[in-house]
Amino acid sequence: MYGITKSVDMQLALSPEHATIVPDATSMRDFLTLSLQAYWFAPPVALWRAVELRTAAQEEYPRPLLDLGCGDGLIAGLLFGPQGVDVGLDPWAEQVRRAARSGVYRWVQRADGGRMPYRDGTFAGVFSNSVLEHIPDVGPVLAEVKRVLKPGGRFFFTVPSDAFRRMLYYYRQRLDAGDEAGARAYADEVDTCLAHYHYHTPEEWADLLARAGLTLERARYYIPEPVEHLWDRMNHRFGVGRRSLWGLLVSPRLRPLGYQRILARWVISHFSRAWRPWYEMEVPEGGKGGGLLVVARKE
């Protein structure tokens, strides 16, 4: 546990119960520029995260709030601001240290989502961004979320959707060329690289949540197909996930040479203009996108 002296239970008792974080100030924010500032070294990551943040910012988050699988706290920082989240939890020690330094959380804890060190009914909200797809069996995590939520509490999570694989640009390209096996192999490669274990439909999520005693309230697709196409092509151009010239140029080891500040400024100003139409694009009514935001409730 980082940055606390008393137990989370005791401290949360002092937290403003029923207070709600309405990121409406944040929902108007330019998440594309903010994400590019944070992830200038990996522009396609910034694009995906910008659209994700714009989507997540349209929800209201009740406190006390837990960020499940908080990582380094960067995303929660952009969404909720300093001290905007009560507790961050992640099993990865280095990420937990970074999250503790981020100033976003009142407390940060190293623990697994399948065995959370909190009493029943501790939180009014649980937020989890891009986490569940990395956990092969989500059953124990969903059961724990239900347990740590107060009655009426809500669970907000984002995951890649059931349409993710077929919306990959190079999957589509291979399929259009009649190479079905090649398309599948490409999507498998992406799964391995990103450590994605599953892609569920909203109906499948409703079923998984119900088994844990949670009710799916709503599910909303984001990342329209043209955005995922651009993201996939740009991952190749920037060599994200493999060795590349770009990877070498942005390597932290070369930071002392000083040029990275100029490169970062160029990336931010260029892509915040060039990618704006994709950032603002909506999934067509009744259509699907590569990402899925789910809101569930504990009755």
Ligand X SMILES: C[S@@+](CC[C@H](N)C(=O)[O-])C[C@H]1O[C@@H](n2cnc3c(N)ncnc32)[C@H](O)[C@@H]1O
Q: Does 134 bind ligand X (CB under 6 A)?
A: yes
Q: Measured from the CB of residue 134, what is the shortest distance to ligand X in angstroms?
A: 5
x/- track of binding to ligand X for residues 33-72 (CB under 6 A)? -----------------------------------xxxx-
Measured from the CB atom, the residue of 157 and 183 that comes closer to ligand X is: 157
Q: What is the CA radius of gyration of the chain?
A: 19
Instruction: Report how far Cα 117 is from the mean position of its chain's Cα atoms.
Output: 22
Measured from the CB atom, the residue of 69 and 183 that comes closer to ligand X is: 69
**From CA 153, how far away is CA 143, in angstroms rounded?**
14
Phi, psi of 218 (to 5 degrees): -160, 155
Q: Specify the DSSP class assigned to residue 152.
A: E
DSSP count for the chain of H helices, then E strands: 14, 9
- Those residues whose C-beta lies under 8 Å from the C-beta of residue 287, and which sit 6 or more positions away, are 221, 224
- The binder of ligand X chosen from 95, 109, 161, 272 (CB under 6 A): 95
Measured from the CB atom, the residue of 49 and 165 that comes closer to ligand X is: 49
- List the beta strands (DSSP E) in the chain: 20-21, 61-62, 65-68, 85-90, 105-110, 123-129, 149-160, 215-222, 291-297
- The binder of ligand X chosen from 3, 81, 91, 117 (CB under 6 A): 91
Q: Which stretch binds ligand X (CB under 6 A): 109-117, 178-186, 239-247, 264-272?
A: 109-117
- The binder of ligand X chosen from 23, 62, 77, 113 (CB under 6 A): 113
Q: Give the SS3 label for residue 98.
A: helix
Measured from the CB atom, the residue of 122 and 129 that comes closer to ligand X is: 129
Q: Measured from the CB of residue 73, what is the shortest distance to ligand X in angstroms?
A: 8
Measured from the CB atom, the residue of 194 and 249 that comes closer to ligand X is: 194
Q: Does 112 bind ligand X (CB under 6 A)?
A: yes
Q: Does 135 bind ligand X (CB under 6 A)?
A: yes
Measured from the CB atom, the residue of 71 and 84 that comes closer to ligand X is: 71
Measured from the CB atom, the residue of 85 and 183 that comes closer to ligand X is: 85
The site that binds ligand X (CB under 6 A) totals a number of residues, namely 18
- Those residues whose C-beta lies under 8 Å from the C-beta of residue 194, and which sit 6 or more positions away, are 241
Q: Does 75 bind ligand X (CB under 6 A)?
A: yes
**From CA 23, how far away is CA 45, in angstroms rounded?**
22
Contact assessment for residue 197 and residue 134, using Cβ atoms and an 8 Å cutoff: yes
Given the rule CB under 6 A, which residues bind ligand X?
68-71, 74-75, 90-92, 95, 112-114, 129-131, 134-135
